[in-house]
Structure formats: structure tokens, C-alpha cells
Amino acid sequence: MNLKLCTENLVKLRNVDPMITSYNIEMTEVTGGTFWKPYTPEQVAGTEEYAIADVTNTSAMMQYYGPLNMYDERLRKMAKGIPSVWVRVSGSWATKTYYDFSDSEEVVRPEGYENVLTKKQWIGVLDYVKAMDGKLLISLANCEGNHHKDEPWNPEQTKMLLDFSKEYGVPVLAIEFVNEPNYIDITGYPKGYTVEDYGKDFDFFAKWLRENYPEILIVGPSSATNEQGIHPRLDAPRRFFKAILTRDMLAACQEKPDIFSYHYYNGMSERAAATGGHFPVDEALTEDYLSVAERAVKYYVEMSKDVITNGQLWVTESGDAACGGNTWGSTFLDVIRSANELGIFTKYTEGVIFHNTFCSSDYGWLDHHTLLPRPNYWLNYIWNQLVGTSTYDAEWENCEGAHVYAYSRKDEKDGYVYMIINNSKTEETVVDFDKAVEVYLLSADEIRGKEIKLNGTVLELAENDAFPEMISEGCENGKVVLPPVSVVFVVV
């Protein structure tokens, strides 16, 4: 494919939130607990098939992990490579977690809760967020433990956590009431909980928070993206899990959030393939697969117009596939989807994407055990090096071989930064800029491999975990060649 791009007087579409590349650290990582079992190296490489599991028995897909060391030097160094972030501490584990901020060495879990967060563990989170100069988003428990008979949701635990965090110097700045509240049977609600109960509790929570902590943003509804009308594959899992449509969740509430949030996963992972919501690997570069991000953001942008007037749209969980990621989520192949999500999201709305997760499971930016960067980490690292705070109409209709997005420069100099994706498996794409440009080409020798190359050189940490130098290649004639399955940032 050959295309020529006009780089003069592009029309600005909107701002880009400087914290767009944010991420989750799951509550189960903080307290220690169960999370998705890793795939084998052979499954990741595609040489061993993953056996389809019984999706109703999720415990067989999980294993126990100890608490994450929030003071680990490599963890913090990698986090500083993605500057200016929101850190979201949430997940289904958080819905059933009791906060024990006593100084007792004996931790007691009250009846009605399944997990315990200690003061020491929470201080670790606060110290981490402070060291990153980040902002903190959380979701709250809403289980048998903080419901007393027929009384509404009890804010006592939340008050303790918010007051402690503020006094410690790292206040909570945004709250989602419940993680994925539309999965009404598996979220962790009290037995027999209904959408009407959720509406009453959300209204009680919102009024209480706005009266006592008006500085904290209410983010919601935080729905899982299994909705009729987005994509048939996403709707399929609703046969297995009782899911309330987001519109019905919102209709049950009188109070409205400040920020509209939803979760975007590009289908279900191999672990949950039995739901019918899984895209096989041979579709991972297709226009149909890549269209899911655009379908989702357009769906929720339209819905949010009835809910918020001046607030942003946030994707508070994002990744290649729900249930821990696909076998290829940790490889270069998923860089194509990730780059396209960034481009699509900034095309339609201004807000924040919280990748799930920073360092856990197969969709993590870092390997859980080594904390070494995976290919998607390097994509977001380079984005933060180059991309500025404005997005422009690239004057190009996306198609196989050329997904084109245009931004201002991070260094605030005149000109633009283009991000161009070649999702063709077989054909190169030649882009003519008709002027000298600087090129940052991301590619891989093995698309299901763990390595990613910048202009032909493998990106990896140097001695003492020093970041590699991001060296561009000059292109005097302005003709940039993208090999099959690659992403390029072009500085004009």
C-alpha cells in the first residue's frame, strides 16, 4: 500500500489527557490472593494449544499470588517510565475486602467479607502513588459485610480509608462505587442483590460522598463491556453470566457520576473461550477484531451524553481479553491492538485508559515474576516520549495496512507526531510525507515473541535497569516504509 499524507494545517479534534496511559494494580495484588494462572511458554509462543476450560469453574483458572512488593526498585523504576498516571486499585477482589487499619498483628476478617487489606499494605500503595507523583482511584466493597439487614450500604469502612489516606498525604481523588456492577451474580454483592438495590446504594453513596468529600470524583458505572449492539462476540458471554445492561444500571440511579467509565476488552481470553466471546489468534490483526475498540467508544460516548455534561470518558479496565489476557497478550502481536486503541480513543473522546494490569497476568505491561517490560510497555513508554496533548484529524480512513493518527509533539515544537499501524500480515506500507521526518519504527522478528525492536534494535533494559536510548532514524526524502505487522511514530 502507498499513501501520501498532507502535514500542513491539520484540524484539531480535541485535547489528549496527559494521563491517558494509566493502569490498574489489582486489590488482590496488594493483599495477596487469587488471580489468573499464567499460560505456558509454549502456549504463549503458539506451539501448544490451550485446552478450553469450563468457564463456570473460574477457580480452576486461578492460583494464589503473594502481596506485591510496592517498594521493589525495578517496579518503581519501570513505573517512572510511564510518568503522569492515575493508579487504580480495584478488581472483583476489592468488592469483598475488609480494611483492617488497626495496629494489631492478628488480622481478623469479619463475617461477610472474603479478604483483608491491612494498614501496612495500604501504606505501601500510598507510598507508591506518592513516589510516582500519581493520582489514586479506588473501588469500594459492597458485600454481605457492609450491609446490615435491610439497611443500605454502610460507608464506615470507606470513611476510615479516605480519612487515613488524606492524613497520610496521598488522598483518594476518584472512586468507582463497585467494580463491574453489571455482573450482578459474580461481582460479590450480598445474596439476592438486584439492580434496584444497586441504584439505592449508589444514590446513598453519591450523596454521602458529595456531602463529606466533595473534592473526590465519582467515576461510573464501571461496566464490563458485554453489551448488545457493540459486537456479537462481546454479547455472547452474557449467556453464562447474568449481566445487566449499562443503561438499566444508570436508569436505577438518580445520582450521576462526574466521569463516565466502562471496561473495554477485545473479547474473552482462551480461558473463557467457551463463552463464545473469544477471537482466535488468526483474527487478531483483522479489521473486525480491531473495530471492537471503535465500536465500544462510540457506543459509550453516545450513552454518556445522557449522563454527564462536562466530564470525561474513562476506560477503567483495558486489555486484549477479559479473564487474564490471551496467550499472545504478552507478545508483540498485541502491540497492534494496543496502539489502535490509543488512536481510536483519542479520535473520539478525551479521557484516560487504565490498562489492566501493570504487572500481573498475561496482559500485564511487566512480567509478574521478573518485572521486566513486555512489548506493550515499550509502546506506551515511547508514546509518553513523543506524543503531545492535542489530537488532529489525520484525513485518512483506516483500512488494512494503514491506521493513521496525528498528534502534537511532546516537545511542543511546531509540527506533528503521526502514529501509523500496518496490520497487514503480508504487505508493506509506504507513507510519503514529502519532507524530512524522524522515524521510530516498532517491529519484531517473531510477532508472537517477547521481543520488540526499535528501528531494528531490540528494546531492553541496560545495566542497573537503565532505559535504552530512544534513537530515531532520519528520513530525508519523507518516504517511510512499514513492514508487515508494525507500528511507526513519525515526527514531522
What pLDDT shows up at residue 462?
Answer: 96
Give the lowest-confidence range in 122-131, 135-144, 146-155, 474-483.
Answer: 146-155
The answer to whether the pTM exceeds 0.75 is yes
What pLDDT shows up at residue 113?
Answer: 95
pLDDT class of 238 with cuts at 50, 70, 90: low
Mean pLDDT computed over 343-360: 96
Over the stretch 179-193, which tens digit does the pLDDT of each residue have? 999 988 888 898 889
Between CA 443 and CA 384 the distance in angstroms is 18
Q: Decide if 345 contacts 336 (C-beta within 8 A).
A: no
pLDDT class of 117 with cuts at 50, 70, 90: very high
Q: Decide if 258 contacts 311 (C-beta within 8 A).
A: yes
pLDDT at 205 exceeding the cut of 80 = yes
Mean pLDDT computed over 16-38: 96
Residue tagged 493518527 (cell numbers): 405
Q: Decide if 21 contacts 384 (C-beta within 8 A).
A: yes
Residue tagged 463491574 (cell numbers): 180
Between CA 98 and CA 106 the distance in angstroms is 14
What H or E segment, with its residue span, contains residue 474? Answer: strand 473-475
Residue 169: DSSP 8-state: T
What pLDDT shows up at residue 8?
Answer: 86
pLDDT class of 225 with cuts at 50, 70, 90: confident
What pLDDT shows up at residue 487?
Answer: 98
Q: Which residues of 156-174 are buried (b: 16+ CB within 10 A; e: fewer)?
A: ebbeebbebbeeeebbbbb
Over the stretch 289-333, which tens digit does the pLDDT of each residue have? 999 999 999 999 999 998 998 889 999 999 999 999 999 999 999
Its sign, for the CA torsion 14, 321, 277, 221, is: negative
Between CA 344 and CA 13 the distance in angstroms is 12
Half-sphere exposure of 167 (CA within 13 A, CB side): 6
Instruction: Report the C-alpha dihedral over residues 191, 121, 22, 131, rounded to 10 degrees.
Output: 160
Residue 11: DSSP 8-state: P
What pLDDT shows up at residue 201?
Answer: 95
Give the lowest-confidence range in 181-190, 342-351, 413-422.
Answer: 181-190
Mean pLDDT computed over 135-159: 90
Instruction: Count CB neighbours of 187 within 10 A.
Output: 20
- In the structure grid, which three cell numbers stand for residue 343, read together? 488512536
Between CA 351 and CA 301 the distance in angstroms is 11
Q: Of the candidates 308, 312, 317, 316, which has an alpha carbon nearest to the alpha carbon of residue 348?
A: 312
Mean pLDDT computed over 349-371: 96
Half-sphere exposure of 440 (CA within 13 A, CB side): 21
Q: Of the candidates 241, 150, 238, which has an alpha carbon nearest to the alpha carbon of residue 187?
A: 241
CA separation (Å) from 453 to 273, 443, 471, 484?
Answer: 31, 5, 12, 14
Instruction: Report the C-alpha dihedral over residues 337, 343, 344, 348, rounded to 10 degrees.
Output: 160
What pLDDT shows up at residue 229?
Answer: 77
Q: Of the candidates 5, 11, 6, 7, which has an alpha carbon nearest to the alpha carbon of residue 391?
A: 11
pLDDT at 441 exceeding the cut of 70 = yes
Q: Which residues of 252-272 are buried (b: 16+ CB within 10 A; e: fewer)?
A: bbebbbbbbbbbbbbbbbbbb
Q: Of the candidates 214, 186, 26, which has an alpha carbon nearest to the alpha carbon of residue 117?
A: 26
Over the stretch 244-289, which tens digit does the pLDDT of each residue have? 889 999 999 999 999 999 999 999 999 888 888 899 999 999 999 9
Q: Decide if 90 contacts 24 (C-beta within 8 A).
A: yes
CA separation (Å) from 178 to 71, 184, 218, 296?
Answer: 28, 11, 11, 21
What pLDDT shows up at residue 261?
Answer: 96
Are β-strands 437-443 and 453-454 bridged in parallel, bridged antiparallel, or unpaired?
antiparallel
What pLDDT shows up at residue 345?
Answer: 96
What pLDDT shows up at residue 56?
Answer: 65
Between CA 354 and CA 483 the distance in angstroms is 29
What pLDDT shows up at residue 107?
Answer: 82
What pLDDT shows up at residue 264?
Answer: 93
Between CA 480 and CA 7 the distance in angstroms is 14
What pLDDT shows up at residue 108?
Answer: 82
What pLDDT shows up at residue 149?
Answer: 63
Mean pLDDT computed over 51-80: 88
- In the structure grid, which three cell numbers stand for residue 172, read together? 483518594
pLDDT at 376 exceeding the cut of 80 = yes
Over the stretch 161-176, which tens digit does the pLDDT of each residue have? 999 999 999 999 999 9
pLDDT at 212 exceeding the cut of 90 = yes
Chain centroid to CA 318: how far?
3
